[in-house]
Structure 1
């Protein structure tokens, strides 16, 4: 069996669901169930004996050690992280606690467990750490995409905390020999994403008749990766990745935020039209966030060359699946939009200047 941390979050839950759809190998799922961890994401596995859920914190080294001793997993996959840049600006401490201290505690427990294994099990064990392209910093319009050898230059408390965890994982391989693998992914989207991130936020706000907030001029460029493609890449890295290596995982889909929102509005106009007008009329431009990276782009040739992985979804196919999923799961959206979520939206957006009509003032 395998141990997955953060398996009730967006990417983690998609991974667990995909894993058990393709394999009978059981999953121990450890998640703290913070605001973005949602057992509703795992409802399809209710009563499935292959899925063992444990509510707990990766910072609790004794808990993790006990789970390792009890279940004897052949691999640990670490999805557990605080992952929203805006939240890291308002409250960086939680990001250091989970992403740095939590990763350290998990590595320590994994090291002790691995060192006590027999020779064959020790050789087969893997520790796979899921990270982000944001550790590389920002790119100019003409810069080459990030590769696995791009120097780290994190620009937010979130990306700095993830960079620190990446460095710890690397150090545990080079110092102790722990068989680690690291993946750095681009912006994920798809089912079960908490509606603080751009795509689910825009869908939810559009359907509720609320403003669709765009930071600054909306020309921040991201590489968009459909979550099921990301999960397939992780499975492949776990299966055949070289120990100690890093693999960048991207969708080959660079797009400006404003263009993403316009695409979403057009798709909603088609699939769930308003009584009058287009959802694009709800677009507003708000004050940009501090230190907002201008462009991310992933060079994913290494994972294709070495492991044969490449994304199956284009942005056009993936975004349609995403919009259709959210339209079919209004109940899930309502359930996750708790009082804590609404208070967060007020904290993040209340003091940003917004102007209707800014959509017409910016170039595409």
Structure 2
């Protein structure tokens, strides 16, 4: 299968690209290489005959049409998106343009291509989204595929809009789509502005480790390589027009997650004091959702998928990866926003 992957130089997209190539699929990586895109993420497959790269912005419809015509993909996996909640608070316009208008362009380019090919039955448009579209949970309950949308940030609102567009293009035009909504990802190549890499890198630098509010916000954590495996499974075997929630079955409070990382670093890179001493509680993010939790019953029951990595195993692997790949993260330290507190302009 030849798969066109948008956002394939990003965190989750690059995991999909690496796994797809390893499994023998041809992959066309379409990425604009904005601040979070990094070709080092796919360096392991860059010279593989199955891999090709196109630097294209999904807001450029003409360029998307040209890529489709040149590469003739069998399927599209649409991951390209602005994804940092804090950045969406400071500058929501980029999220509207990329996540909504960009997805519209992808759908129209895919529809034109699919129609010109005679509407092949095995073509797929896989839209990758987030559990944040469902809003916030209390202390109990879980998101299912039937949960009503209730986005609380410009980021989640833009992703909710893109999900609605994908469903509309399926119902109105018959475009063969599948959708997935995932919980919080972590693992190798995670851009150093999200919680887990911030904790690791600030700890190693001897800086304060910032924790929003009291650290009581709860997330379900999904190891990125498990997520890539699930995404390829849904692409190949998911039912048309159906959505699948992908979760790690690993709920944790932010403060417990941070403390665990500090303890792992105490063991792997010991120093005279405990890394936990660097934890500093800071003013909470605007509109910070209390808890997300995924019920992954549909993908488990229909497709037989379950995560293979526990949060304890995944955090240890992730910390070790950052310790072993200093050249990778140091090269990103000067990029826009890295190391700064974002999301405070609202």
State the TM-score bracket (shorter-chain normalisation): over 0.9
Q: Tell me the equivalent position of 2:46.
A: 46
Shift of 1:117: 1.5
1:345 to 334, 337, 340: 340
TM-score between both structures, scaled by the size of structure 2: 0.97
Give yes or no for the alignment of 1:247 onto 2:244: yes
Give yes or no for the alignment of 1:284 onto 2:286: no
Conserved 8 A contact 2:85-2:343: no
Cα distance in 2 between the residues matched to 1:220 and 1:130: 24
Map residues 48-63 of structure 1 onto 2, 5 A cutoff.
48-63=48-63
Give yes or no for the alignment of 1:17 onto 2:1: no
CA separation of 1:347 and 1:162: change in aligned 2, threshold 3 A: closer
Q: Tell me the equivalent position of 2:326.
A: 330
Conserved 8 A contact 2:137-2:291: yes
Report the 3-state secondary structure (helix = DSSP H, G, I; strand = E; otherwise coil) of the residue aligned with 1:124: coil
Map residues 188-227 of structure 1 onto 2, 5 A cutoff.
188-227=185-224
Q: How many residues align?
A: 344
Structure 2: runs of 5 or more not aligned? none
Structure 1: runs of 5 or more not aligned? 352-364
2:168 to 166, 171, 185: 171
Cα distance in 1 between the residues matched to 2:341 and 2:114: 45
Instruction: Kindly provide the CA deviation profile for residues 81-136 of structure 1, in whole angstroms up to 9, marking residues without a partner as x.
Output: 000000000000000000000000010000111111235xx100000000000000
Cα distance in 2 between the residues matched to 1:348 and 1:290: 8
Cα distance in 2 between the residues matched to 1:237 and 1:14: 15
Q: Tell me the equivalent position of 2:128.
A: 130
Cα distance in 2 between the residues matched to 1:33 and 1:234: 22
TM-score between both structures, scaled by the size of structure 1: 0.93
Instruction: Kindly provide the CA deviation profile for residues 134-172 of structure 1, in whole angstroms up to 9, marking residues without a partner as x.
Output: 000000002x10000000000000000000000000000
Conserved 8 A contact 2:286-2:343: no
Report the 3-state secondary structure (helix = DSSP H, G, I; strand = E; otherwise coil) of the residue aligned with 2:222: strand
Give yes or no for the alignment of 1:149 onto 2:150: no
Shift of 1:347: 4.9
Cα distance in 1 between the residues matched to 2:46 and 2:176: 33
Report the 3-state secondary structure (helix = DSSP H, G, I; strand = E; otherwise coil) of the residue aligned with 1:340: coil
Report the 3-state secondary structure (helix = DSSP H, G, I; strand = E; otherwise coil) of the residue aligned with 1:232: helix
Give yes or no for the alignment of 1:34 onto 2:26: no
Map residues 258-269 of structure 1 onto 2, 5 A cutoff.
258-269=255-266
Cα distance in 1 between the residues matched to 2:151 and 2:342: 24
Conserved 8 A contact 2:213-2:281: yes
Report the 3-state secondary structure (helix = DSSP H, G, I; strand = E; otherwise coil) of the residue aligned with 1:134: helix
Shift of 1:277: 1.2
Report the 3-state secondary structure (helix = DSSP H, G, I; strand = E; otherwise coil) of the residue aligned with 2:178: strand
CA separation of 1:339 and 1:12: change in aligned 2, threshold 3 A: closer
